[in-house]
A = this chain, B = another copy of it.
Amino acid sequence: MQIKQVSNHNINRWITEIHNDFKTAVSVDCVIFGYDENTLKVLVSACDMPPFEQKNSLLGDLVHPDETLEEAAFRVLESKTGFSDVFLEQVQVFGAIDRHPLGRVITIAYYALIKIDDAHLAHVVKDTKLQWMAVSELKSMAFDHYEIMHMCLRKMRRQIRVQPIGFNLLPEKFTLLQLQNLYEVVLGIPLDKRNFRRKLTHLGILTQLDEMESSVSHRPARLYSFDKDAYDEKIVHGFNFDL
């Protein structure tokens, strides 16, 4: 990179600091949430770095010099899940001085929401280090990753109430009960069936499909899909999603 010759001593200080003294390693860590078997899960990896060999860690990597932070996060996501088109949200930076045993590494936490499907599960199974773990069963992790996971969970819980992001965790076609269960599991509160259904169907952001559940041993439920166009349209007219 070319550096302009400038007279101000303040700028020379910056040049020195930027290029020598004050450089730090920067990583991204992804909290990848999935929803399966009525459970909120996180994709974790067996950690191979001392002293955390018995722990699980989040999926992350150092940010390369030629990529943005978001690109780094998407690179991690794609390499571990095979998906490139996922919902991704920056949460917070963690910069405690000794958070990494190999030296100072500040990390930018992202959370992602993905639809766990069979193709994806096969992809994960091939990588013996990877594992979907229920959020409720995760008690401790490598580094400060448990704290990071928890912060991401908090942010996701806050966001899911006011933005239609929950659909990223469900298949394209879902029943109203699946949607209600998702909210109950994520938020940890029971919801009234009739009120929930009225609220959601009256929001006008669901498309009622001409299709039913099949092969269930009870009355099959109608399938719905999220109508993103309708949502975007309503947003510009001052509509608020609020569950």
Q: Give chain A's interface residues, CB within 8 Å of chain B.
A: 1, 3-4, 6, 8, 10-11, 14-15, 17-19, 21-26, 48-50, 62-70, 90, 92-93, 95-97, 100-106, 108
B3 touches A103 (CB 8 A): yes
Option from B14, B21, B25, B97 in Cβ contact (under 8 Å) with A18: B25
Q: Give the residues in chain B near A26, CB-CB below 8 Å.
A: 22, 24, 26, 95, 106
Q: Give the residues in chain B near A105, CB-CB below 8 Å.
A: 18
Q: Give min CB distance, A9 to chain B, whole Å.
A: 10
Option from B10, B18, B50, B104 in Cβ contact (under 8 Å) with A4: B50
In angstroms, Cα B67 to Cα A103, docked, is: 13
Q: Give min CB distance, A231 to chain B, whole Å.
A: 19
In angstroms, Cα B18 to Cα A23, docked, is: 10
Q: Give the residues in chain B near A102, CB-CB below 8 Å.
A: 3, 11, 14-15, 18-19
B50 touches A6 (CB 8 A): yes
Contacts A26-B24, A63-B24, A103-B19 given; does A69 touch B95 at CB 8 Å: yes
Closest to A72 in B: B95
Contacts A25-B24, A63-B22, A69-B106 given; does A14 touch B93 at CB 8 Å: no
B11 touches A62 (CB 8 A): no
B24 touches A65 (CB 8 A): yes
Q: Give the residues in chain B near A100, CB-CB below 8 Å.
A: 18
B10 touches A64 (CB 8 A): no
Q: Give the residues in chain B near A93, CB-CB below 8 Å.
A: 69, 90, 93, 108
In angstroms, Cα B93 to Cα A62, docked, is: 15
30 A-B contact pairs sorted by A residue (CB < 8 Å): A1-B103, A3-B102, A3-B103, A4-B50, A6-B49, A8-B48, A8-B49, A10-B48, A14-B102, A15-B102, A15-B103, A17-B62, A18-B102, A19-B102, A22-B63, A22-B65, A24-B25, A24-B65, A26-B95, A63-B95, A63-B106, A66-B97, A67-B97, A68-B97, A69-B93, A69-B95, A69-B106, A90-B92, A90-B93, A93-B93
B64 touches A22 (CB 8 A): yes
Q: Give min CB distance, A93 to chain B, whole Å.
A: 5
In angstroms, Cα B166 to Cα A142, docked, is: 38
